[in-house]
Amino acid sequence: MAKSGKTTFKESVAEFSRLQRDIAARKFAPVYLLMGEEGYFIDRLCDQLAEGILSEAERAFNQIVVYGKDSECGAIINFCRQMPMMGSYQVVIVREAQQLRKIEQLSLYTQAPAASTILVLCHKEKSLDKRTQLYKQIAQQGEVFESTRPRDYEIGPWLADFIRSKGCSIDPKALTMLTEHLGVDIAKISNELTKLLTFLPEDTKTITADHIEQNIGISKDFNNFELTRALSERNMEKALMIADHFAHNPKENPLIVTISTLFSHFQRIFILNYQRWLVRHRGMQMPSDMELSRMLKLPNPFFLNEYKQAAALYPNKKVFTILGLLRQYDLKSKGMNSGSADEGELLRELLLKIFYL
């Protein structure tokens, strides 16, 4: 699939699944351009093509793998124009194609690719310019896949689907623990989950917070998810206990990540309060729970009730002040006007200011 605009993460995931099915069904294109910021999907598709087109015996004669930094377009074109030996296809894989000098010269081949050659270009870190002749030719003659990195709120649903594809499910707390700890690095998440699923008992149907704590090393009681819940409930004692744990484990709980999580948390409270204001003062209808969950970009609708309760405790006048505090402490976490205070002291100071508003 090729499109002129920016590809969304959701579209990338759908296109990734389609290409996986086509490759498994041996519906091959003469040229594949696998490009974009998210390397995980590019690597998986490249591996599937490398292992699925030719048999192991055929690969020794008919599969060529080169790297962009060490190659030239002329040599790649020559490889592509060779006939396969004792087989139907020849496969030419160019890894790190973004480092290939004068990559546009490959258009001399892609304007009329050989029927017996499958060329795979792995163009990571960025997308090929869609205005170029090379891009347009591949889009017309073959397959273009653009791999887009997920936003924070998109990783949870993808992760839940990924786990379901492995024949398992994950409870909401465990899902949040994983996404907060591993961020949006899909390759890292996939590796951690593969290890986790290997260690779980065979009859395990649902991954829980205990599984995450025991196998990945994320505390189920002391994490950003529990900290935001303590703030939602205005439970100062619990919040300060978590802050103390963070202070003793700063590498696992960097302040800049915690502040980012808190900022998203209070932004959601602000949006919910504003929707309630529109109902009271403008006579508008309150959105459904499903609409609210989408509006708040929640990783799971399960968390909506927490935000409804928190909104009653944090009117938007307080939320404005808290967002200002978070911006201030974000700068302090980066070393601006923080004095000699370490991250643990800054977090405790921030939490006390929030609770005493």
Final residue of a structural domain among 183, 216, 249: 216
For residue 339, the model assigns a pLDDT of 77
Where residue 125 sits, what CATH number does that domain have? 3.40.50.300
Query: 330 with 246, same domain?
Result: yes
Any domain includes 280 = yes
Query: 210 with 240, same domain?
Result: no
Burial of 45 by CB count in 10 Å (0-12 exposed, 13-18 middle, 19+ buried)?
buried
Final residue of a structural domain among 173, 198, 216: 216
For residue 350, the model assigns a pLDDT of 97
- For residue 285, CA distances in Å to 8, 47, 194, 276, 314 come to 30, 50, 45, 9, 22
Tens digit of pLDDT at every position of the chain (357 positions): 555 568 899 999 999 999 999 999 999 999 999 999 999 999 999 999 999 999 999 999 999 999 999 999 999 999 999 999 888 899 999 999 999 999 999 999 999 999 999 999 999 999 999 999 999 999 999 999 999 999 888 988 899 898 998 889 999 888 888 887 887 889 888 888 888 888 888 888 999 999 988 888 788 889 999 999 999 999 999 999 999 999 998 888 899 999 999 999 999 999 999 999 999 999 999 999 999 999 998 877 888 999 999 999 999 999 999 999 999 999 999 888 777 889 999 999 999 999 999
Residue 157 gets the label, from left (phi > 0), alpha (psi -120 to 50) or beta, of alpha
Query: 118 with 197, same domain?
Result: no
99, 100, 102, 104: CA torsion to nearest 10: -100
User: Which residue segment(s) compose the domain that 132 sits in?
Assistant: 9-147
Any domain includes 3 = no
Query: 186 with 62, same domain?
Result: no
Any domain includes 317 = yes
CA angle 306, 310, 175 (to 5 degrees): 30
Query: 141 with 36, same domain?
Result: yes
For residue 179, the model assigns a pLDDT of 83
Query: 15 with 77, same domain?
Result: yes
For residue 4, the model assigns a pLDDT of 57
Residue 34 has which token pair? 């696998």
Distance CA 179, CA 172 (A): 11
Report how many domains make up the chain.
3
Query: 142 with 168, same domain?
Result: no
Any domain includes 4 = no
Query: 46 with 123, same domain?
Result: yes
- For residue 110, CA distances in Å to 62, 73, 106, 144, 243 come to 19, 12, 6, 13, 57
Final residue of a structural domain among 147, 178, 197: 147
Query: 79 with 175, same domain?
Result: no
DSSP state of 141: H
Where residue 203 sits, what CATH number does that domain have? 1.10.8.60
